[in-house]
Structure 1
Amino acid sequence: MGRSESVAKLPEWARELLVQSRVARLGLLDDDGAPRVLPVTYALSQDALVTAIDDKPKHVAPERLARVRWLRARPRAALTVDHYEDDWSRLAWVQAIGPVKIVEAADAPDALNALTARYDAYRRQRPSGPIITLVPDRLVWWRA
């Protein structure tokens, strides 16, 4: 297992895993302090990992979504990207841990550009909801 404090210091294979994977898991704490893990789309934007509250139908306004509320109350999270194959000699994962900021989409053009470059759905319907930005202060990785 390896560790670093910035994306720039990741081994090449770990950075490539971050760039090529399409879905990550966002780990955070809910109102009761219980751990929650949510699948998210994401992009690498400079030294940050970013994810959007997209425009898929929601039952509440984006600012009232549980994940936004939880992250505002406890603004630290972990984002995990993994590679799985039945051949376990090819397993790998990277986890970024750090503080989270939630900003309006209009205030995060670099993040929006990174997300729209990565996902066709975001090119068709650019996210207008909040952007969650995680700037890791710790990265941990492992591969078989």
Structure 2
Amino acid sequence: MTVSKIKLTMIGGFCLLVAFFCARDIIAKSGWPQVPAEITAVTVECLMESTQHRIVYKTVSSASIPCELVEAFKSVHADKEWTVKQKFTGTLRVGAGADAVEATMDLNKSGGREPQVGDKLVVVQNPAKATQVERAGMTGTRVM
């Protein structure tokens, strides 16, 4: 076998493994009911990352801090160039009436708009554990 055939075989095996886990995740969550949810609180956190390339290796530094401290953090660590990404975590009221529960979930910007308190969305809820929720249509993405 040549080196290129070995590489192709390894890439194909990896793709099959990812497909297997995605399919398993989708099948496991196919029975989860869709439930309306409302965002009751949003927490914003900034993920800082700096990558420095050396001759033989690279160094990756990362930190997760409140967004209001980003400029102070950059000034203290001015020897590195930092990239900043915002992470939104939401507290949700899932369901309606007496059956409603509170759950947390990572939220994404929709377009250029940040998630806000009062936004309504549809989630899928684990019937065995009511606080375990994921966005509807997002099953299989955690494997990716």
TM-score norm. by structure 2 comes to 0.22
TM-score norm. by structure 1 comes to 0.22
